Structure 1
Amino acid sequence: MTTIFERPAFASLNQPDGMSDSEWAARCELAACYRVFDYLGWTELIYNHITLRLGDADPPAFLINPFGLHYSEVTPLNLVKVDAAGNILGHSDYPINPAGFTVHAALHNGLPGAHCVMHTHTTAGVAVACSAAGLRSDNFYSAQLQERVAYHDFEGVTVNPEEGPRLIRNIAGKRAVILRNHGLLSWGGSIPEAFTYLWTLNRACEIQLATSAMGPSLAIGPEITAKCARDALQFDPAFGAGRDVFDALVRMAFRRDSSM
């Protein structure tokens, strides 16, 4: 008997005729990721985005959420397929958000390893992004991110394509990104990998926000943070790069929302 823990996400939906197996699998995993974000409370009304490059698409294309739907409403069927210029490929009942396309397209087009890109406006993430000090090396999670965090200065609402090259330059290959005065961003070779970076970064911000309310914090020395970064095996593809954690959260999201 199939149990709730063995059931694939969105197993009740039928793969559309003519769609490749790889695109359908990508759609199901990305839609499940939107439900995970909803489960975690990482939502901002109908805003923010998680995008996924389609590896077999020719010309290059990626999937983005339909603009106007809450994360809890995203399904494999209503995800929007767009090309590198933001043109919708095929039919969609919804538009895409230009602010989301601009940033995500810059990473997908400018970083070969950016198969998945995630962006959030969590309270803790935005608070640290607004802090002049940025992320401090004073907690268990931030210590694991030593030399893994990039910063990009705020340039306004992200609708101007000319910001893209500056963003790529400031990222400099680092997969956890703090967008100053704005929020958090991560990217990776897969959804679980990008999620692992974002979860760790957001958790570090949550702890920093709580600690700041208690007065001065204890800094962690550079030797220890370097050791923590080396020992943070959740980022290592040899140890799954977050697959086990992500799959567990998909199961949790399914238990709450049987429409998956």
Structure 2
Amino acid sequence: MTDQLAIPSKKDRVSPEEWQLRVDLAAAYRLVALYGWDDLIFTHLSARIPGDEHHFLINPYGMMFDEITASSLVRVDQDGNKINPEDFDINPAGFTIHSAIHAVREDAACVMHTHTTAGVAVSAQSEGLLPLSQQSLFPLSNMAYHDYEGVALREDEKARLQADLGTNNFMILRNHGLLTTASSVADTFLNMYILQTACEIQIQALAGNRALTPVPDGIVDTIKQQAEKVTKGMGGKLAWPGLLRKLDRIDPSFRN
């Protein structure tokens, strides 16, 4: 990290629980950059800080995802106000989407939103995500859609976004991108990984100019139980330690 972006550590200024959450969320930002899902400084990942204050962490506006550290994440309240005035500003469009979900979903500890090429391409297709792969079945068992209303800046869009998401953990924002949520950073990242992969497979399958074989009806209904067996009930926690080790080998500065 350059001297211009050197940010004093917050490790001794926050609770151990908040610090661990900061490290995990910073890791998720680095992984999004590593897998090529970032969109320069745009799109956001957020995480709710445990407690009754309804504060959450989001990225500083202007920093690339591969620059994000645990200390650089900005703590904001439900109205988008920075808790620490010396922190970077945040993107109001990102705040609108994430705060809408955090406000009504107590189980949504983390929210991830991307603008990947494959994700936006599928979001523009009228049928949305198709049951063309094993990967697609996990999102399809828990999928929502939200129609495009322009850049997410209007307060009145929040209610429609909340209603469209409902209790689902996967959402395709029409003409816009992908969104996932879960009860932890690890599970939210795994959800995004699976949804992104399903979109990439769909775009390549449709480009093959051959008849396609959709997954038979009824299998989607059993996929949740099968997933529990595959991950031993641990979900994203099974892969998360390995992902952190991967980041530590490449650049451990996300922990700063």
Length-normalised TM-score, structure 1: 0.89
Q: How far apart are 1:76 and its partner, in Å?
A: 1.1
Greater shift after overlay, 198-207 or 213-222? 213-222
1:77-121 C-alpha deviation (Å, 9 max, x unpaired): 111000000000013341100000000000000111111000001
Matched residue, 2:219? 224
Runs (5+) with no aligned partner, structure 1: 1-12
- C-alpha contact 1:145 1:229 (8 A) present in aligned 2: no
Distance 2:45 2:60 in 1: 11
- C-alpha contact 2:141 2:220 (8 A) present in aligned 1: no
Matched residue, 1:171? 165
Q: How far apart are 1:231 and its partner, in Å?
A: 0.8
Q: How far apart are 1:70 and its partner, in Å?
A: 0.2
Matched residue, 1:252? 246
How many residue pairs get aligned? The number is 246
Seq. identity, %: 38
CA RMSD of superposed structures (Å) = 1.8
SS for the counterpart of 1:99 is helix
Matched residue, 1:184? 178
- C-alpha contact 2:110 2:181 (8 A) present in aligned 1: yes
1:3-50 C-alpha deviation (Å, 9 max, x unpaired): xxxxxxxxxx95544421111111111111111111111110001100
Matched, 1:121 2:115: yes
Specify whether residues 235 and 31 from structure 1 end up closer, same or farther in structure 2 by C-alpha distance, changes over 3 A only.
farther
Q: 1:20 aligns with which of 15, 20, 23?
A: 15
Which protein is richer in helix relative to its size? 2
Matched residue, 1:67? 61
SS for the counterpart of 1:222 is coil
Specify whether residues 208 and 152 from structure 1 end up closer, same or farther in structure 2 by C-alpha distance, changes over 3 A only.
same
Distance 1:51 1:192 in 2: 12
SS for the counterpart of 1:205 is helix
Matched, 1:149 2:138: no
Letter of the 1:180 counterpart: R
Matched residue, 1:54? 49
Q: 1:78 aligns with which of 67, 72, 77?
A: 72
Matched residue, 2:40? 45
Letter of the 2:233 counterpart: F
- C-alpha contact 1:193 1:235 (8 A) present in aligned 2: no
Distance 2:205 2:86 in 1: 45
Distance 2:195 2:172 in 1: 9
Q: 1:208 aligns with which of 202, 212, 237?
A: 202
SS for the counterpart of 2:253 is coil
